[in-house]
């Protein structure tokens, strides 16, 4: 079922989400709904708070662009991107590389706004799975950026919070208009 994506200004987007403590039938259905919603919205990632759920759960699928990473290790072994997509995880943990790079980002919860965001170029991620296993990922490129973006959502952080001071000032009026319009550009 396609769910409504909550928009900028909704309080759930600013909450630090609760850990997932049990994988229930309802949680499995939520994951299926989130995947369907993400695909319908042409997104590469979706976090549970974006569909109004205060849970440390997210989905990512960057398989449309297999060249979007130059490094992908899964549990210490080189891996193909398609082998882990769509990526579904709960209660994630991230470690960041020192090197940073800028890249264009947008968000399904902040319609009509895209901006350059500087983030660590590579990450190591500990990603518990619904079946109780844990994926240890080391990656870069779009997958590293998507992981950081979605995990930010689980901590109540939006990509616009990561903009440079100058970009934040220039974005201020556009974000205010989004709030005034109820999240619709």
pLDDT tier, 184 (very low <50, low <70, confident <90, very high otherwise): low
* Confidence band, pLDDT 50/70/90 cuts, at residue 185: very low
Half-sphere exposure of 121 (CA within 13 A, CB side): 6
pLDDT tens-digit map of 107-127: 999 999 999 999 999 999 999
Q: Among residues of the chain, what percentage have pLDDT more than 90?
A: 92
The per-residue pLDDT of the chain, averaged, comes to: 95
Q: Per-residue pLDDT for 180 more than 90? A: no
Do 2 and 37 meet the contact criterion of CB atoms below 8 Å apart? Answer: yes
Q: Exactly one of 53, 105, 138, 150 is catalytic; which is it?
A: 150
Helix or strand run (H / E) with residue 134: strand 134-140
A 10 A CB-CB count for 185 gives 12
| Average pLDDT, integer, range 147-174 | 95
Residue 5 neighbours by CB under 8 Å, 6+ apart = 37, 41, 46, 50, 51, 108, 109
- Let me know if 80 is a catalytic residue: no
Helix (H, G, I), strand (E, B) or coil at 158: coil
Going from the N-terminus, what domains does the chain have, and what CATH number goes with each? 11-180 (3.90.45.10)
């Amino acid at each position: 079922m396609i769910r409504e994506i909550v928009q900028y200004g909704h309080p759930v987007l600013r909450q630090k989400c609760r850990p997932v403590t049990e994988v229930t039938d309802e949680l499995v259905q939520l994951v299926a709904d989130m995947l369907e919603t993400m695909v319908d919205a042409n997104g590469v990632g979706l976090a549970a708070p974006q569909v109004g759920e205060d849970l440390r759960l997210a989905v990512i699928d960057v398989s449309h662009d297999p060249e979007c990473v130059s490094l992908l290790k899964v549990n210490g072994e080189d891996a193909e991107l398609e082998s882990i997509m769509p990526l579904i995880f709960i209660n994630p943990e991230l470690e960041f590389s020192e090197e940073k790079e800028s890249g264009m980002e947008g968000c399904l919860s902040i319609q009509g706004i895209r901006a350059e965001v500087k983030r660590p170029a590579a990450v190591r991620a500990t990603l518990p799975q619904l079946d109780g296993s844990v994926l240890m990922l080391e990656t870069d490129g779009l997958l590293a950026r998507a992981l950081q973006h979605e995990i930010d959502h689980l901590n109540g952080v939006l990509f616009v919070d990561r903009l440079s001071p100058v970009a934040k000032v220039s974005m201020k009026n556009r974000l205010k208009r989004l709030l005034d319009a109820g999240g619709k550009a």
